[in-house]
Amino acid sequence: GLRGHRGWRPAWRKPDPKPAYDAVIIGGGGHGLATAYYLAKNHGVRRVAVLEKGWIGGGNTGRNTTVIRSNYFYPESVALYDLALRLYEGLSKELNYNVMLSQRGMLIAAHTPMQMEICARIANAMMLNGVDGSLMGPQEARARLPLLNDAPDARYQCLGGVWQGRAGIARHDAVAWGYARAASALGVDIVEGTTVIGISTSGGRITGVETDRGPIACDRLGIAAAGATPGLVAPLGIRLPIHDYALQAFVSEPVKPMLDTVLLYLGTGTYVSQSDKGELVFGGGLDRVPTHGQRGNLPVQETIVSGLLEMFPAFGQLKLLRQWAGVVDVVPDSSPILGPAGPEGLFLNCGWGTGGFKAIPAGGWLLAHMLATGTHHEVSRPFDLTRFAEGRLIDEAAGSGIAH
Ligand code: FAD
């Protein structure tokens, strides 16, 4: 039956690496691929290579639960994540590739008067920062979530919460593949199966990278390698405040439509959406032990699954189809690191932790700007590495209780 599926044109070229490029990007996740696309498209820099040690999207970009939103607390964060959301809103057209953006709205549900106060604070901050956010009451929340556990003895009653209507989900693989195809068409070399093992410098400037396929010269280097970034820059004497943890995700068997929003429960930390295929896609908090293993441990699985059943007892009838984990690069203030570091010509895009899928278009846009111009974009400037030395943290962990 598959005999007809032959002779397809590959969506992106599979070139061997050239000896030199104008700019090299380490990491073929969403952020690296988006950077390459915007470098070529916005800035006309086309002698660009993306070096990926595995296959594109095989890191966190292909492992995440695809929630997209901009319901953050601090103005700097809203500027960053809403730039991403606005770019997502036009992305399928921009790339001529359906990224299946579904703006079905997201509710962060509260269970106590104090949690409702915090939700009011976040909703007010969002409105002041010019994005759509509102406080939702219990009746409207229940109307949107008919299967929600509202039994009188439910452990967590839903009192409502913060609502963002423009939030939603998108297809993660399509985001990686769409950027890859569009960047390749503009001349970018996407080189898979190539590991960067060292960074070369001379006279305080970047001169290239060492790879397991030989050296490549460049004077501009972007690193978008998530949790591998600290190890790559450590030999240059750069220490990054990043710890890597496993973050797990789960998928149920597919069923007919029964949940048409994204829901995060503050009480259990579990969040869930229903994919276009009908599977429930859900997850929760980090495994609290630093690791580079893409597996995840059993006690956290139990917490997350029991959190789902607390929210929706009816989901207990479903079979769990798959479970996996990614390794997320967590920074103390739960905000990314964007900007120059160490030798001239080196720029970082990392520290996205549990929530960088939603930021891919902006992360790429901003790293491309820095590689092309050598300077910060006004949106990336607050996320510079110097904020840790200067005490200018953008503490979204405290501000919005950031999750995914
Ligand atoms: P990655 O996609 O990890 O890409 C980095 C790439 O660098 C990898 O492909 C890796 O192979 C490559 N690399 C590393 N070292 C080298 C080297 N030496 N040489 C060459 N290549 C190298 N975010 C959200 O916004 N919403 C969510 O709902 C959400 N849910 C999540 C659920 C889970 C289970 C996980 C794990 C993450 C979740 N995230 C979510 C976070 C999100 O997935 C990440 O923040 C985002 O994908 C990071 O993208 P990236 O391009 O920076 O990293």
Residue-wise pLDDT for 29-71, tens only, equals 999 999 999 999 999 999 999 999 999 999 999 999 999 999 9
For residues 85 and 70, is the Cβ–Cβ distance under 8 A? yes
Token pair 């503050």 in the structure block, residue: 266
Residue percentage of the chain with pLDDT more than 90: 92
DSSP assignment string, 344-394: BTEEEEE--GGG-STTHHHHHHHHHHHHHHSS--TTTGGG-THHHHHT---
Mutate to test the pocket of ligand 1, among 102, 357, 367, 383 (most ligand atoms within 8 A of CB): 357
Distance 63 CA to ligand 1 centre (A): 8
Nearest residue by C-alpha to atom 9 in ligand 1: 59
Mutate to test the pocket of ligand 1, among 63, 64, 169, 366 (most ligand atoms within 8 A of CB): 64
Predicted confidence band of residue 1 (pLDDT cuts 50, 70, 90): low
The mean pLDDT of the chain is: 95
**Rounded distance, CA 386 to CA 116, Å?**
34
CA 350 to chain centre: 10
Ligand 1 nearest atom to the CA of residue 359, by list position: 25
Predicted confidence band of residue 399 (pLDDT cuts 50, 70, 90): confident
Distance 226 CA to ligand 1 centre (A): 6
Predicted confidence band of residue 401 (pLDDT cuts 50, 70, 90): low
Segment 177-200, tens digit of pLDDT: 999 999 999 999 999 999 999 999
Nearest residue by C-alpha to atom 12 in ligand 1: 27
Query: Is residue 33 classed as helix, strand or coil in its secondary structure?
Result: helix
What is the b/e burial string over 93-121, where b = at least 16 CB atoms within 10 angstroms of the residue's CB?
A: ebbebebbbbbbbbbbbbbeeebbebbbe
Q: What is the DSSP letter of 337?
A: E
Distance 318 CA to ligand 1 centre (A): 29
For the cut 90, the answer to whether the pLDDT of residue 402 exceeds it is no
Segment 266-296, tens digit of pLDDT: 989 999 999 999 999 999 999 988 988 888 9
Ligand 1 nearest atom to the CA of residue 169, by list position: 28
Record the pTM: 0.97
> Edge-to-edge strands of the sheet including 134-136?
134-136, 160-164, 106-110, 262-265, 271-274, 280-290, 243-252, 320-330
Ligand 1 nearest atom to the CA of residue 56, by list position: 9
Decide if the complex's ipTM is over 0.90: yes
Q: Which helix (H) or strand (E) holds 139?
A: helix 138-144
DSSP assignment string, 185-253: HTT-EEE-S--EEEEEEETTEEEEEEETTEEEE-S-EEE--GGGHHHHHGGGT-----EEEEEEEEEEP
Segment 331-384, tens digit of pLDDT: 999 999 999 999 999 999 999 999 999 999 999 999 999 999 999 999 999 999
For the cut 70, the answer to whether the pLDDT of residue 222 exceeds it is yes
Written in H, E and C, the secondary structure of 282-321 is EEEEEEEEECCCCCCCHHHHHHHHHHHHHHCHHHHHCCEE
Residue percentage of the chain with pLDDT more than 70: 99
Long-range interactions of 154-159: CB distance < 8 A, separation 24+: 154/310, 155/267, 155/310, 156/111, 156/265, 156/267, 156/268, 156/310, 156/311, 157/111, 158/109, 158/110, 158/111, 158/265, 159/109, 159/110, 159/111, 159/112, 159/113, 159/115, 159/116
Nearest residue by C-alpha to atom 48 in ligand 1: 356
Distance 364 CA to ligand 1 centre (A): 13
For residues 230 and 242, is the Cβ–Cβ distance under 8 A? yes
Ligand 1 nearest atom to the CA of residue 249, by list position: 34
C-alpha distances in angstroms, 139 versus 135, 145, 146, 162, 164? 12, 10, 11, 14, 17
Q: Tell me, what's the pLDDT at 94?
A: 98
Q: Which residues have C-beta within 8 Å of that of residue 203, sequence separation ≥ 6?
A: none
Distance 149 CA to ligand 1 centre (A): 33
Predicted confidence band of residue 403 (pLDDT cuts 50, 70, 90): low
Distance 60 CA to ligand 1 centre (A): 3
Nearest residue by C-alpha to atom 37 in ligand 1: 64
Query: Is residue 69 classed as helix, strand or coil in its secondary structure?
Result: coil
Q: Tell me, what's the pLDDT at 295?
A: 87
Q: Tell me, what's the pLDDT at 397?
A: 81
Residues in contact with ligand 1 by the CB-under-6-Å rule are 26-32, 51-54, 58-61, 63-67, 195-196, 224-226, 228, 232, 247-249, 283, 326, 328, 352, 354-358, 404
Predicted confidence band of residue 28 (pLDDT cuts 50, 70, 90): very high
Ligand 1 nearest atom to the CA of residue 33, by list position: 51
Taking only Cα atoms into account, the Rg of the chain, rounded to an integer number of angstroms, comes to: 21
Distance 248 CA to ligand 1 centre (A): 13
